[in-house]
């Protein structure tokens, strides 16, 4: 599992109104918590092939009404190594999801999409493509 401070979206994630940083183990460690439910937010990095980028971008760029259709059409398969990376922060109760697509070029990953935040039913819907 990745450290949330090392994400490209770290600043935006930490400035989200419903995300709190909680110190654990006498301040030696920190975790993200989705405030409305108290659920821990886990950070994941998934790799995909280049064809998956268009599907993931459609999900992130869709509005509330088009989200269900974009998720249904999203056919992506995770890979061990790929030049497309999806950074995902998902609460353990799947009531909060934050996503950003990055592409590997010039020896590092660069953001391709904005950071998208989902809560409630939309978060559950988006989390279904990550399982």
pLDDT at 29 (0 to 100): 85
Torsion of CA 102, 53, 44, 77, to 10 degrees: -150
The tokens of 121 are what? 């039913």
13-56 residue pLDDT tens: 999 999 999 988 777 888 999 999 999 999 999 999 999 999 99
Q: What's the whole-number average pLDDT of the chain?
A: 91
Closest by CA to 13, choosing from 98, 105, 90, is 98
E-only strand ranges, 53-124: 84-91, 96-105, 108-111, 116-119
Whether the pLDDT of residue 124 is over 90: the answer is yes
For residue 1, is pLDDT > 70? no
């Amino acid at each position: 599992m990745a450290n949330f401070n090392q994400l490209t979206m770290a600043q935006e994630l930490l400035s989200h109104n419903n995300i709190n940083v909680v110190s654990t183990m006498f301040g030696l460690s920190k975790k993200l918590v989705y405030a409305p439910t108290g659920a821990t937010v886990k950070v994941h990095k998934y790799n995909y092939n280049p064809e998956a980028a268009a599907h993931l971008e459609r999900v992130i760029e869709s509005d509330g009404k088009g989200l269900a259709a974009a998720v249904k059409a999203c056919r992506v398969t995770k890979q061990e190594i790929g030049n497309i990376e999806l950074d995902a922060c998902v609460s353990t109760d799947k009531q909060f999801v934050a996503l950003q697509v990055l592409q590997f070029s010039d020896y590092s990953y660069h953001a391709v999409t904005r950071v998208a935040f989902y809560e409630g039913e939309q978060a559950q819907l988006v989390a279904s493509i990550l399982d």
